[in-house]
Structure formats: C-alpha cells, structure tokens
Amino acid sequence: MLRTIARHSTRLIHYLLALELVLFRPQMRHLTQLVDALIVCDSRKTLSNLYRQFVDELDPKTAADFFRESPWQVEQISLPRKRFMLGQFLGFGPTLETDAIVISIDDSLGIKHKDTRHLEAVDFQHNHSESTRKKQVYNNGFVFVEVHVQMDGIGFLYDAQLYLRAKTVRRLNRKRSKESRIPYRSKYRMARAMLAELAAQLPKDRPVYVTFDSWYASAKLIKFCRRQGWHVICGLKSNRCLDKKQVRHHDQALKHKRYIRVRMRAVDDAQPPSYYVRQIQGRLNDVTGQVHVLISRRHPGHKRPKYFMCTDTFLSAQEALRIYQQRWPVEIDNFYLKEALGLSDFRLQSFEAIEKWFAVVLMALNYLQYQQAQDYVQSHTCPRLADLIRRHRIEHAQDVLRAVAEQVLRSGDIETVLNRFIVFDSRAVA
C-alpha cells in the first residue's frame, strides 16, 4: 500500500488554526493527523489504517491514548467548531438568495457487527427505516441525534451526539463511580439542548424554520420552537388531532375536494417529483395558534398519504413542502459520516472515548462542508462532498509523488525510497 500523506493539507491547517482550539501541541498534532487521514484513507477507518497513511510512519497506540487517556474534553473542540461554522455561514448570508435559516433535527442508526461487544455505546437499537407494522427490526449498533443548519444552497451539521437507552445507561452506571456516571437524556432533551444552544447564537431578525419528522413532533418541542420565534414544519402521525378530530378523518371527509398539484425541486439531477396536496387549517392539540396541515399523496389514488404540519400560515403548500425538503442534507450528512469518514469504524470501548471519536469525525465533515460553502459563495456552484474528498486525496497524491521524485534524485537509492513510501504489510489491505 502506498503511503499517501507526506505533509498536512494547507487548507486543513488554516481551518484548524481559525478555530482557535485550546489544546496542547501533542493534542493538536493528533487532531490534525486524524482529520487528514480520515479524509484520505479509502479503507476502513481503524486507527492502524489511518496512521499507515503517513510517509513517516506513526504509532497508532498514541492515537488510541489520545482518545482513551489524553486529558481533553469533547467541548474543547466541539464548541469552537460550532461557533466558527455558524459565524462563517451567517456571514455568507448577504451573498445568498434568501436569508431564511432551516434547522433540521433527525437521528440515525450506525450498525456494528452483530458479534461486537464491550463497546459502551453499542447496543441493540430499534431500526425505524427497516421496521414495518408487522415486524420490528433491531440492530446491534449506536444511535446519534443530529442538528443540521441550512441556508439556501449551503449548510453544515451543527452537532451530532450519542444517544443511550435508559436501560443501557443503568447498566453502564453499575460499574461506575458516582462522579463518573452517565446521565440519561431522551432524544427530545438532546434535540432541545442543541436548539437552545443555537437559539443563543442566531440573529433575531432572520426567519427560522425548524423541520423534523413525525417522531419528534411532540407538543413540547413545537412549543419550545415557537417560544424562540421560530416556525415549525414537521411530519405528523395520522392519529394527531386537529380541532379535536384525527387528521386521517379530516382526510376522509375531504375525499371529494380537489387537490393542489405541487412540484418539488429535483435532487441530484433527477426528474422533479410532483405531489397532490390538500390543505386544512385549525388548532393542533396542545399547540398554541392556528396551523396548516398538509395531506400529501404521490398520486390521487395513493391510499397512504403523508401528513405535515406548518405553523406559518402565510406559506403556500408548495413553499412549506420545499422548506421541508431541505431536510434531505441531513441524509447526506449521515451517508458521509458513516460511509466516507468512518463514524461506525471505532473500536474504542469507553463511552467517553467514543464521544471523542465522534467529535473528530464531525470535525472532518465540517471541514469539507466549509470548503463546499466557500466554493458555492465564490462560484455559485456547489461541489459534492465526494468531489472535495477526491480533491483532497489528489493534492496529497501530488505531494507524495513530488517527495518520491525529490528523494530519488537526491539519493539515487530507489529501494530505500520504496521502503519509505510503500507499506509491505498484508494487514494494510484490511
């Protein structure tokens, strides 16, 4: 395997320096190495594979100590990262077509091998995407709650935090001292805490829409958002009551009413989808004020419609659904976190070490999203994150080739150069 990192990316160094992290020099060095290698490595993101990327071979045991023993806290890198990213994105506002901010809340499941044990954040979790009414699916893995911020064509993942079931928290706390016990936090409390942190930093004069699916559509969360002056556009379950009547019964009563045909924006150059929508207005149980409920079908004969709620009654059905469509970048975040940046590849045991791994992987994603936003503002074209990863790898490949050529010309000893730049170890193919 050819070693791929001769020196660190200049762009990455400038980005990390701009965060003004309060870390010791060895900690900063490990962070830079890990973020760089996460983007470059095209195999499983184990610590061994990550540190094999460097021309001057590093000891992966020191990286393990960086997560397990080094005395730094997640907040030392996450808080500066969030402040910097939000400040930069808000600064891009004057160059964008709209000043509306869309905040998306979601959670995601990362799957580990079924035989994986002794990792404190890993447990059997409910898989919403694969479960049906007749069959509930559980997978061995971990769950995280995330908040994404979107403005026009650019956005970034503000935060992603590990969720532990109450049963898991009780099990882990049996082996912990009173001072080191893990507090249980529901997904709702985690989402609310992240939103409260965002609310303290967002300007009051910018329109804000918070979007989430029906799993988060509790009256408490909706009312919290409304107290911040934000509007909510979310999915609804069919049994939610509007004017003391379930929305599915409203749908049945409107079966002879004409639909509004709504055309959505295309995603990834696909054919723009269209939906058939009915719109009703009323009061949702335990939610103050009038809301719009949208009943959406792919075609008039579709027997399982989707239900949505919008607190901004001045929006048309098309405008509301297009804002809700901006939740899609959250799915893109999940793909790159798990498939491209190795969020699921950790082998660390303690919950605290796994949280640190999350913080480092999220730093890598935010760096790519920052580069993406800069390109969008400068050229009004938004490159894919895959293109930015490819660019990062090409730049490193060019650096390595230059280093190889310089050393061969300087020493004339090809075998020594090969031994330095190529890993002759079968384990590297893992």
Instruction: Give the pLDDT confidence of 310-343 residue by residue, as tens digits.
Output: 999 999 999 999 999 999 999 999 999 999 999 9
The pairing of strands 123-126 and 138-151 is antiparallel
Domain that residue 246 falls in: 229-317
pTM (2 decimals)?
0.93
In a domain, 277, yes or no: yes
For the chain, give the percent of residues with pLDDT over 70.
97
In a domain, 302, yes or no: yes
For the chain, give the percent of residues with pLDDT over 90.
71
In a domain, 37, yes or no: no
In a domain, 141, yes or no: no
Total number of domains in the chain: 1
304 vs 224, more confident = 224
Q: What is the pLDDT of residues 210-225, one digit of tens each?
A: 999 999 999 999 999 9
The reported pLDDT for the residue numbered 33 is 96
Beta bridge partners of 211: 104, 233
In a domain, 278, yes or no: yes
Q: What is the pLDDT of residues 53-67, one digit of tens each?
A: 998 878 889 999 999
In a domain, 254, yes or no: yes
The reported pLDDT for the residue numbered 270 is 64
The reported pLDDT for the residue numbered 425 is 57
Please state, in angstroms and rounded to a whole number, the distance separating the CA atoms of residues 198 and 216.
18
Lowest mean pLDDT of 86-90, 130-134, 258-262, 373-377, name the range: 130-134
Instruction: Read off the pLDDT band of 132 (50, 70, 90).
Output: confident
